[in-house]
A and B are shown apart, each in its own frame.
Chain A
Amino acid sequence: MQRAIHLSGIVLLVSFVTILMDDFNQEWKQIQTRFAHIEENRYHSTSESDISFNSGIAQIVVEGLGKIDRCPTCHLGVDDIKYRNAEPPFQTHPGQLLETHKSKDFGCSACHLGQGYAVSYDKAAHRKLEFWNETMWPRPLMQASCGTCHRSREVSEAPLLTGGRLLISEKGCTGCHDIDEFFEEGNRGPNLDGIGNKVSEGWLYAWLKNPRDYLKASRMPSYRLTDPEILDIVSFLLSLDGKSDPPHAVTAQSSNPGRPDSGAVLVSESRCISCHTIHGRGGRLAPELDRIGDKVRREWLPNFLRNVHYYQPEKRMLEYNFTDRNALDIAAYLMDEFSEGAYVLPDEGDVALAPKSLSRKEEQLKRGLKLFVKHGCGGCHSVGTQIKPPKVGPKLSNIGNRLESVLDFGSRRDIRPTLYNWLFMKLKQADVFDSSAAMPNYYLTDEEAFEITVALLGNKENQYATEYLVSEAQNSVYKKPSGEFGELFERYSCISCHSIDRYGGTLSTVPLTMEGSKVKFEWLRHYLIKPFALRPVLTERMPRFRMTEREASLMADYIKRVYVSDEIPRFFELELKPEEVALGRQLFRSLECVNCHIADGAGGYVGPELDNTGNRLEAGWAFKWLLDPLKYKPETIHPDFGFTELEARQLTAYLMTKRRDHR
């Protein structure tokens, strides 16, 4: 009995000593001792007690984020620039991020993840541990965290996240998945009513089989459909009625079948290449035209060209002032030149599309409709006047919280089972884990799939208090213009390329917000009738609309009255003195403006040519622009030379003397 008491006494003593030793040897205590002796502290302190940190456990409590972070217990130099070259874990936080996200306000684990409460390397989950969701991000994935609070499409300091979000929008992920309200927009694909009048069955079949056969950069993914399935869908699509009496019906007559040579001239003159790719060159705003002749029906094309907005009201394409003859010429040129041989249905395909009995046909249409619904085609394409169908894919607004232990990797045992691997691989090949997966294949590059993964990983609902969330800036006050100008503005689809108050297209380098304060009426009127390249190096040029004189006057007048800024002085030219011209010329020469601009017939092509500035620009605009280019166009690469008002006046006075007689 006594023995037992002795023995238990010894055991108690040993365990007591062990506990004491353990506590004394704690990782963080050793690290703090090491910190006292690093170079940065040795020079600055004379004795150990002089070192300017409170030893012991340090913690940051951030209520709104639900975080208690003890990271500063070991990361002792994060906030102090003095430690920028110190050894880990003492070094200063890199970059400028902590200036806006102070560690006392945001803590550490809201961005880095991991177990902020722990005070040892392993327990804080510095490394990825299997099936443990809240381990720290590996460095490449850091920007996912930005996305949890920053609920806007673009986050300037996080290019990977922004890239991912732009891709989500561009690839049309929201057609099937609810992701975030800021992704919501109109249909990604065209309305399909009357599709049978537009394209051939052969093309439709080939397109559904693999869209990339026809269009390398196709936005439509590949659905891995079988031949009978495709034929059922084709049959259903061909049954959709469309509009059939356009306001300007064009029919080819034997006397006027269209002349390809004048069509070619029109295509080049209209600058179709600004938006469409032709033989590998041109814009990316609209589909490639290389095989348009194999896709659309010969009767449809001239009618479309004359009635663009009638057939497709959502279309961003502009409606040129073509005559019937013009439309027939262009159609003849495109149909003949842009063809590599017609698409055909597979063997017996035409028989399958025309079953002998009516009931068989009805069954086929039913099957086609069922497939159409099953694959969520309505997510991107509208049909009839139906309301938007429910989305067929799962919601992704909380995907970042998906537990790694429930992810289905199929039979792939060779993959590290993390959420990022799962998302990345599914994005690369939708059926990689499950051959019956509903999601189609998008053929993303590694870079694209990675960026989308980063954007999705940060999607976590109800994670943080609302005051931490940054929403999409309400920066657009754009209102559709009304009246006759509004109609013309719509017909020529100005907003597809130009922006107004940061709303609209980015193809043009010229926003219209203050265009009326910038250019002169006469110049603008001529430019609308016969546009030319101010910057010849750009592929994207203003198309020639074939606008009438009256239309051009009306548009120029409206722009001069409405799209103006109060900050631009209106009659500035009258205030300029003749003696300022010579001084301005001197300044123009000494700054070597011709390095980028053409003046007196020679110079660079970076900026617009300046030899007609006096006719083109309002003096008040030129003056204000020279003083602060970034204010009037944030994306400009024109350097701000820091001119004084006097210098800007002199330069303006000189530039206003540069006029060509015509125009």
Chain B
Amino acid sequence: MNGARLLIFVGALALGFTSCKRPEAPRRDVMMEAIESLAEVVDAPMAHAKQVYDRYCSVCHGLEGKGDGFNAYNLDPKPRNFTDSSFVARVDSGLIVETITKGGGAIGLSPVMPPWGRTLSESDIAAVALYVRRLAQSRAGLEHP
């Protein structure tokens, strides 16, 4: 008799446990996880700036801003290396915008850098200037910890 009661008790206990579901695991946001590594694509203004930079600037300054574009060999003085730490420390966005807009010749540097003020819009130039700074900071940060 006692044995039967014990059996019922244990059975009820087991039933109780099964109904205590584990709390559900948090649901995954699959797409958001997948695009985390695509920051440059997702950040629309930066992606646009990169497009403009790659198209107009990388020919001489290189895709990574190291001053090593395919046309660099032909130029004297050599194109600016944006990842040079002295450049990052010295130059502000205003000057970058001015250089891009008016060209090197107009601000006392070499005329090898042409003026882009009549080719690119003001907002494109501002975006590229920001991109150049970001390029400079991130790459310089990597190379000079």
Contacts and interface: CB of A to CB of B under 8 A. Distances in A.
B66 interface: no
Interface stretch (A209-217, A247-255, A639-647): A639-647
Interface in B18-35: 24-25, 27-32, 34-35
Interface in A140-164: 140, 142-143, 157-160
Given A450-B31, A592-B112, A595-B75, A140 B51 contact: no
A415 B44 contact: no
Nearest to A636: B119
B49 to A, nearest CB: 11
B141 interface: no
A606 interface: yes
Interface residues of A, number: 47
Contacts of A605: 70-71, 74
Contacts of B123: 96
A425 B30 contact: yes
A483 B77 CA distance: 54
A637 interface: yes
Q: Identify whether the interface residues of B are mostly helix, strand, loop, or mixed.
A: helix
Contact of A159 (B35, B44, B112): B44
A630 B124 CA distance: 15
Interface string B1-42: 000000000000000000000001101111110110110011
B47 interface: yes
A453 B47 contact: no
B103 to A, nearest CB: 8
Contacts of A596: 71
Nearest to A156: B48
B28 A415 contact: yes
Interface residues of B, number: 35
B71 A606 contact: yes
B56 A450 contact: no
B35 A450 contact: yes
Interface stretch (A196-204, A284-292, A416-424): A416-424
B87 interface: no
Contact of B119 (A157, A594, A630): A630
B44 A639 contact: no
Which of B30, B34, B59, B123 counts the most A-chain CB atoms under 10 A from its CB?
B30
Nearest to A161: B44
Given A158-B44, A606-B71, A642 B115 contact: yes
Which of A139, A159, A630 counts the most B-chain CB atoms under 10 A from its CB?
A159
A336 interface: no
A591 interface: yes
For the complex of A and B, 9 pairs with smallest distance between CB atoms? A640-B118, A424-B31, A639-B114, A416-B27, A604-B74, A140-B42, A446-B34, A416-B29, A640-B119
Given A421-B31, A604-B71, A639-B119, 11 more contacts: A95-B45, A143-B44, A160-B44, A421-B29, A425-B31, A447-B38, A605-B70, A605-B74, A639-B118, A640-B119, A642-B118
